[in-house]
Structure 1
């Protein structure tokens, strides 16, 4: 699937049907160990059940290769009872990264009287402000970057971690394979990967009832650990830079600004068709996208083929987070992608006060934006099909009074609904960790648990 990975990053869509058919043929033949489960999250028409099957198959060869080493280690968990639950967060993103921006206020809010928190990092130390801030969050910060998978597992086990929390899944740079060695008695899939890890090495996935309804449990190898609102944390003290001007950002002084700062690989032809219809039927409007040197020309050509003058697509440079949040307020409406939704980019937009519409599907990654909108009381911006998505966006773009009503509601709800209530979120997450630990101590298997 290397060709597919390259094509999706370039927004080359001609072979999507061929790639989907190849995936399904491989799944049917139980031979998908070469297909990264991550690639299926953005492929239209792939179900959550197929995503799980791919994850299960992805693991087979890797588990076979490490079987002898894992058997030799065979970690046991008979450490002394402690007054605090020891949490270990595993990631390569403990620096200036979207996951870090989502997590940092929650980590700072952890109850140090009930929990010890350890970081296990295998990513770069960029020496930046976020790295320094994260270092202060943890009771212990361990750099695993020079260790092998097995030695990393040994280090985690030696620290007697009670609950190991993986923040990467099968995304770029992952070493989630450490979890297959079972260095901790409870292992959790959290935040970084919007799908199942497959296999039998991860006990829980932190989620919410909208993202993964109870009826979808068979599509996940992990038991559901339900938060009451959205699964995603986001700080309520994230600094917003000085509001830029339209001229500074290359935007027209007048006209409606549709915006999507998702990565180019999430843009699929069906959603792009809708965006171009919106541009065609909203005179003077533009579509503001995140700059991608490889995909920029391709997207402008696709717009031209749909009757849109290419310069109505405006491309934004990458900026530091604070500056990015400052310019984001220039957008009038964020348009979500499908079937792989906005994640951090969605909550960032809502944080700076820009409404967003989404089209919810049946998989975890296709319901993230809907989860966020529900947690901020804007359920009416969730569409269930692309026709409704188009109508919602068109009406907001062409009816100033309707958009003003939504903006007023977003402003009123921003700090008065669960989405940005970091302290309440942290308490709910800690309640889940305590429930996991109690079940383990009682010798009980993981099941769906809830925090109220």
Structure 2
């Protein structure tokens, strides 16, 4: 090495030292000095590119690293960093070959396997991502990687394997973010109830102790109170979605002729939310409201996706955009009210709202609880799901709609097909109790009640949704342990929505769950003409069916306790005439009462938006809002 080369290398090492100590600006100056003397200095180009990536100058960083690779393409770290840059630009298709090349040069680098998994997940290649995570685990056991494997397996409904992955993470790091909740939730999906009550109580205790032990959506099925759910959401928001240091909106009051409403969701596709929501968009009054849809989920090419795209005045497919870019879009379009339809559900992007892109921000429908975040101004609810004396358990101000907060689409098609009980595996004459809720909402205490019903009502069966084979086996085993023939549990496979709605006619009574009620499944049953029996719960998630029943004129089907729930179920099964009268009343009410009146509901939502907007325009902070029936 010549003296000049040695001097340049020494200088480069000075820059590298500054870089490692976080002085990116100082490091960049030195790297540029080296490059002035030797433009083809690989290390300086590479590290200057990395510094640019770290300072969010992503495109410049990519260009520099590409120049470096043009000089020397045998350095795995350069290909890895180039791939990370493409991931930052939401370009996983460009990132993946970079990670493949890096691994071809160094298959023993754990971080590259992890980055490769991120790119594969972003491309929807979950099996390949799982293999990449497992390659990383082979190099070094790691709790977070086990959790990531569990998350993939969970989404694939491979719950037994997911639980094993979560258990591995739990053993390595019991306080790993969210892991306690993942384990409980997966066990509920499996109907694996051994010591379940103890695990559920432990999760509630963890949240009360201030630990971010679970995602808030998972916690809805735990036996916590409204205060516990608020604590859980607040801990999650503080840890993962803190408010931006510099909010994009500073409380601007826009002078628009129409109020600009942006609805944000990943679920404008074949998803329960989309089927419920489409009619609301179509009924919005375009003379007073400018309605914008921002989608950051997949385009499945479905009829409901096309219908929703057409219904919005403006529809933005933002899948390839970062949270920051979506937030900037909302700010640039001067949105008056941004509405989060996701909350903490799967594929949510709470970070958009954390940057405060709109002067007024609300959450609705997707998440039945508080988000615990200071940047969500309002939650849209009703007086049943959020009584006035419980508003203090919500970080948001509560907008109380009359009757029911839950939107329905009165255009939802019910197939004309008449299913025979025989083809559904049901007895021809005996009583059919039904619950099409997800298995994770079924608790041992509630199952005890259901088995009591089967014991008392001769020949009756319980018709459930087939979620996964393990859950079917476990539920039948639990029935047998309670002295009930497992054959009296009948499981229904999934069907397209119109056919699924139509087969409800074969049941006699829908049995709701607690502490987490039926939501879309209750609306499905009522729309199809099947009475729903519920028990009033202690939280928002446990009161949704009660809200619907009041709005459809059947309040007598709301039991105040599980004892009353059990007695009423037996009474209705025995007194077929009484049940027939309720069913006939439901058939009349579904087209005359507020629950399924989409146009009326839309007017009330618009009154809510107008009230939020008026407060802001008057310079007033958010406050509780009540919309009256005249609205």
> Could you say which TM-score interval applies, normalised by the shorter chain?
over 0.9
- What is the aligned partner in structure 1 of residue 194 from structure 2? 14
- What is the aligned partner in structure 1 of residue 601 from structure 2? 425
Question: CA offsets, 1:42-98, max 9 Å, x none?
Answer: 112x1000000111111122245xx6xx33564345475111001111111001110
- What is the aligned partner in structure 2 of residue 435 from structure 1? 611
Question: CA offsets, 1:300-352, max 9 Å, x none?
Answer: 11111111111111111111111111111111100000010000110111111
- Cα deviation for residue 251 of structure 1 reads 1.5
- What is the aligned partner in structure 2 of residue 321 from structure 1? 497
- Cα deviation for residue 397 of structure 1 reads 0.8
* Residue 281 (structure 2) aligned to one of 99, 104, 107: 107
Does residue 153 (structure 1) correspond to residue 333 (structure 2)? The answer is no
SS at 1:248's partner residue? helix
- Cα deviation for residue 248 of structure 1 reads 1.8
Q: Does the 8 Å CA contact 1:94/1:123 hold for their aligned counterparts? A: yes
Q: Does the 8 Å CA contact 2:376/2:396 hold for their aligned counterparts? A: yes
Range 232-241 or range 88-97, more displaced: 232-241
- What is the aligned partner in structure 1 of residue 308 from structure 2? 134
Q: Does the 8 Å CA contact 1:227/1:451 hold for their aligned counterparts? A: yes
- What is the aligned partner in structure 1 of residue 83 from structure 2? none
Alignment of 1:366-385 (within 5 A): 366-385=542-561
Residue 182 and residue 73 in structure 1: after superposition, are their counterparts in 2 closer, same or farther (change >3 A)? Answer: closer
- Cα deviation for residue 178 of structure 1 reads 1.3
- Cα deviation for residue 14 of structure 1 reads 2.4
Does residue 23 (structure 1) correspond to residue 206 (structure 2)? The answer is no
**Separation of aligned partners in 1, 2:247 and 2:559:** 50
- What is the aligned partner in structure 2 of residue 38 from structure 1? 217
- Cα deviation for residue 23 of structure 1 reads 2.5
Residue 234 and residue 74 in structure 1: after superposition, are their counterparts in 2 closer, same or farther (change >3 A)? Answer: closer
Q: Does the 8 Å CA contact 2:363/2:380 hold for their aligned counterparts? A: yes
Range 247-256 or range 357-366, more displaced: 247-256
**Separation of aligned partners in 2, 1:155 and 1:17:** 46
Q: Does the 8 Å CA contact 1:79/1:160 hold for their aligned counterparts? A: no
**Separation of aligned partners in 2, 1:228 and 1:79:** 28
- What is the aligned partner in structure 1 of residue 439 from structure 2? 264
**Separation of aligned partners in 2, 1:350 and 1:73:** 43
Question: CA offsets, 1:243-284, max 9 Å, x none?
Answer: 211122121222111100000000011111111111111111
**Separation of aligned partners in 2, 1:72 and 1:288:** 53
Does residue 207 (structure 1) correspond to residue 381 (structure 2)? The answer is yes
- What is the aligned partner in structure 1 of residue 404 from structure 2? 230
What runs of 5+ residues in structure 2 fail to find an aligned partner? 1-179
- What is the aligned partner in structure 2 of residue 52 from structure 1? 230
- What is the aligned partner in structure 2 of residue 284 from structure 1? 459
Residue 247 and residue 278 in structure 1: after superposition, are their counterparts in 2 closer, same or farther (change >3 A)? Answer: same
- What is the aligned partner in structure 1 of residue 514 from structure 2? 338
Question: CA offsets, 1:133-174, max 9 Å, x none?
Answer: 001111111122112221221122222111111111111111
**Separation of aligned partners in 2, 1:410 and 1:63:** 43
* Residue 352 (structure 1) aligned to one of 503, 528, 535: 528
What runs of 5+ residues in structure 1 fail to find an aligned partner? none
SS at 1:357's partner residue? strand
Query: How many residue pairs are counted as aligned between the two chains?
Result: 446
Does residue 117 (structure 1) correspond to residue 297 (structure 2)? The answer is no
**Separation of aligned partners in 1, 2:260 and 2:268:** 19
Question: CA offsets, 1:186-232, max 9 Å, x none?
Answer: 11110111000002111111111111110001110111101111000
Does residue 244 (structure 1) correspond to residue 419 (structure 2)? The answer is yes
Q: Does the 8 Å CA contact 1:355/1:407 hold for their aligned counterparts? A: yes
Q: Which has the larger radius of gyration?
A: 2
**Separation of aligned partners in 2, 1:107 and 1:349:** 23
- Cα deviation for residue 5 of structure 1 reads 2.0
CA RMSD after TM alignment: 1.4
